[in-house]
């Protein structure tokens, strides 16, 4: 089994949600911890609690922003951030909307009925797409911002 998938399963078994798992993986790449950020990512779970946008998509957007967003008064947003967010959103829609009838948590998991069957694959593929986007845009996965 792929090391990333094994780590995702390990984090899921520890009770983390999809958006948290993705952020934990990104932080691990940078050899960082940030419990406050990981806790905040739980707010994206289950489509922000109401079945809306999939947490894999919103979690992925947060990872892109972790690398390219503005985080302090003396920083500027990276000029590629919006393009990277659009690329992720377009890819997610193109990949999952037709397959599951939407990109919401409810559509993908059929309101929980297929969550265990579908969500792991969606999270893994989305995390890999985020990594691909960052690499294509010349971000160092290990350095972060």
Please provide the distance, in angstroms rounded to a whole number, between the alpha carbons at the two ends of the chain.
31
Q: Give me 78's structure tokens.
A: 């990276």
pLDDT in tens, 77-96: 999 999 999 999 999 999 99
Low-confidence ranges of the chain (pLDDT < 50): none
Q: Cα(18)–Cα(60) distance, rounded to whole angstroms?
A: 10
Query: CB–CB of 4/25 below 8 Å?
Result: yes
pLDDT at residue number 1: 54
Q: What predicted TM-score, i.e. pTM, was given to this entire model?
A: 0.93
Query: CB–CB of 88/130 below 8 Å?
Result: yes
pLDDT at residue number 116: 67
pLDDT at residue number 50: 85
The domains of the chain are located at 3-136
């Amino acid at each position: 089994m792929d090391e990333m998938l094994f780590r995702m399963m390990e984090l899921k078994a520890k009770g983390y949600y999809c958006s948290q798992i993705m952020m934990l993986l990104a932080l691990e790449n940078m050899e960082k911890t940030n419990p406050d950020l990981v806790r905040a990512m739980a707010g994206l779970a289950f489509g922000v609690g109401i079945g809306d946008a999939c947490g894999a998509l919103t979690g992925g957007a947060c990872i892109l922003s972790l690398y390219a967003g503005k985080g302090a008064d003396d920083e500027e947003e990276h000029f590629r951030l919006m393009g990277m967010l659009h690329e992720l959103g377009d890819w997610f829609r193109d990949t999952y909307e037709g397959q599951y009838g939407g990109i919401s948590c409810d559509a993908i998991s059929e309101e929980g009925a297929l969550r265990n069957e579908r969500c792991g694959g969606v999270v893994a593929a989305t995390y890999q797409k985020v990594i691909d986007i960052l690499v294509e845009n010349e971000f160092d996965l290990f350095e972060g911002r």
